[in-house]
Amino acid sequence: MSDILDFSKIEAGKLELEKIEFDLVETVEDIVELFSAQASMKKVEISCLVRPATPSTVRGDPGRLRQILANLVGNAVKFTQTGEVIVSIQLEEESADFAIVRFKVRDTGIGVPAEAQASLFRAFNQVDSSHSRKYGGTGLGLAIAKQLCALMGGQIGMESEPAKGSTFWFTARFEKSANQTRSREEPIGSFRKLRVLVVDDNATNREILQGQLASWQVHCQAASNAREALELSRVAASHGERFQLVILDRQMPEVDGIALAKMIKKEPLLGQPQLVLLSSLADVDDASETEEAGIDACLCKPLRKSNLYQCIANMVERKSLLREGGGDRVADLSARGSVRGERVFNGSVLLAEDNPLNQEFASLILQSFGLKVDIAQDGQEAIEATKKSKYDLIFLDCQMSVLDGFQTVKVIREREAKSVESSAGQPRFRVPVIALTAHAVSGDRERCLKAGMDDYLSKPFNKSQMGLLLERWLCPVEVKPVCDASLLEKTGDVCTSASKGVGLLDPKALDVIRQLQRPDKPDVLAKMLQTYQAQTIKLLETLRAAGGVGDVVGVRNVAHALKSSSANVGATELSQLARKLESTAASLSRSDLELIMEEIVEEFGRIAPALAGSPVP
């Protein structure tokens, strides 16, 4: 429906573009990252290549640019089953006041037949009817993209070969920013002393990494596999020029990044370089494996230039990295913190969530990263909070009472746009908004983007996943050592009776909660279980009442709340029952509805002993 409305506005000449200052490179990286989970699930590499001289800060309409890119990148990922999707950006032409930028989206997908290419940008056009059935789509996306490019003073086109892939390109004209700020990734003097080895079997990824490192005047060499990497390392060591940093891709054929890291560590002559592992979203949770391999830092692909810069800058602060030939690590690193440690951020965030247990869980995680957290019970409270305070980051639950996350972000973005008009076009602060979603499916991501959100986090989430997200949107102010097992053992000893006997709950979920424990603070696990117990008793009472009068919407709302809160405390079976009830409530007969509701009540009774033995409701 939104595509049809956009197309109608364009056809009627009523669509007006914004003209605000924004970060061009970050906008492109945001889109690439938005589709990274979908690409990762298909084992498709997705990356962003920023050519030298590309302007960063420009004036234009970032929302419409996102819309074009989202359509092209979304299609590329959708129609690519193997290989890669590469998004590139480069300066094509410039004057004193304007810059024309060329964007390319290249894939190794199914391609477009020559006879279909001429009509591809027409409204309601599909390559053929089978694509509409298999892949979906209105056929309006490319037509709207063509119109938006024209409004931006650019053009759009494509080249394709069936079964070999496609390249869609477009240009856009932007005003140059009068307030060009210094790059946050300018090379610092000590970067020039670094000798770095990049190991990745993907040629595009090697090119991207070498380009980024070269822009910081880092001496860099690259290898496509483990054998080449070891040969280059040995030759460099024999000349007294050991690599001090090795960047490894996790997923490589024959010998992967983890195995190569272990090989490097076993060769003392290589000087024990610092190791950075590049992982896809699907591989970010194997902390024990990376720790065992001696990995010093993990970065998530697609790699943002700012994240790589921050990682290296953190390592540069560790003098051992810059010692001649790499050398051994300094003994007092544990006191200062390490790149492998936990990031600490300085800032304030707003958490809009109407589920009490989810509020508690998310706020504890955010506070553990050093952030100040304000909580809003619904979308309307979130809007009021943003009027009173300026936040560095906003988290919005997509399903809330009063105003949901989509309605809320719309109001926030509209107010931001008005603030630009009232300040004579001066640059505005566009607060990053993160959607908290029940499912990370393609439709949810695209809906979040169109609504004005910048990223999403699928519930239930853990501290590691939250940390990766925070690194994308906030700059760490320090790095502290991770909490070791001894602290967890000590905090486990002081657990009250409310957190004992938890064998009926998933121990992994409970460990996630235990890791939020801070010294000399009340038992966080006991508090979470007690909160869950009290909340669930009330929810089951509401569920019975709604089911008794056939209120399907009420039943689904309760099931939705039970689903995420139960998952957070490890009540896996109850969470699955709630998920089933939420998804099928509208289609179930009265008797089947009551049957699932009774199963939920019985399951809660079964886990009650793990929740301090409270009476079964």
Question: Cis before residue 460, ω within 30 degrees of 0?
Answer: yes
On average, the pLDDT of the chain sits at: 79
Considering the chain, what percentage of its residues have pLDDT values greater than 70?
Answer: 78
Least reliable range by pLDDT among 207-211, 498-502, 561-565:
498-502
Q: What is the DSSP letter of 79?
A: T
Considering the chain, what percentage of its residues have pLDDT values greater than 90?
Answer: 32
Question: Residue 196: is its pLDDT beyond 90?
Answer: yes
> 127: helix, coil or strand?
coil
Q: According to the model, what pLDDT value does residue 180 have?
A: 52
**Rounded to an integer, what distance in angstroms lies between the CA atom of residue 414 and that of residue 14?**
18
Average pLDDT over residues 285-312: 79
Residues 371-391 have pLDDT tens digits of 999 999 999 999 999 999 999
Question: Residue 34: is its pLDDT beyond 90?
Answer: no
Strand 297-300 to 348-352 pairing:
unpaired
Polymer length in residues for the chain: 617
> 390: helix, coil or strand?
coil
Least reliable range by pLDDT among 50-59, 265-274, 601-610:
601-610
Average pLDDT over residues 304-322: 70
Amino acid occupying residue 212: Q
Residue 476 pLDDT level (bands cut at 50, 70, 90): low
Residue 48 pLDDT level (bands cut at 50, 70, 90): very high
Residues 124-137 have pLDDT tens digits of 455 544 444 444 44
CA–centroid distance for 359 within its chain: 20
Structure tokens at 131: 């694509």
Q: According to the model, what pLDDT value does residue 448 have?
A: 78
Least reliable range by pLDDT among 159-163, 399-403, 540-544:
399-403
Question: Cis before residue 302, ω within 30 degrees of 0?
Answer: yes
**Rounded to an integer, what distance in angstroms lies between the CA atom of residue 387 and that of residue 108?**
47
Give counts: helices (H), strands (E), the chain.
24, 19
Written as one string, the DSSP assignment of 18-42 is --EEEEHHHHHHHHHHHTHHHHHHT
Tell which wins on pLDDT, 313 or 308.
Answer: 308
Question: Residue 495: is its pLDDT beyond 50?
Answer: no
Please list the residues that pair with 174 across neighbouring strands. 99
Least reliable range by pLDDT among 164-168, 318-322, 420-424:
318-322
Q: Which helix (H) or strand (E) holds 311?
A: helix 305-316
Average pLDDT over residues 104-120: 88
Written as one string, the DSSP assignment of 480-516 is EPPPPHHHHHHHHHT--GGGS-GGGS-HHHHHHHHTT
Average pLDDT over residues 501-520: 75
Tell which wins on pLDDT, 43 or 395.
Answer: 395
Of 21-35, 292-306, 450-464, highest mean pLDDT: 21-35
Q: What is the CA angle 156-44-56, rounded to 5?
A: 50
Q: According to the model, what pLDDT value does residue 347 have?
A: 86
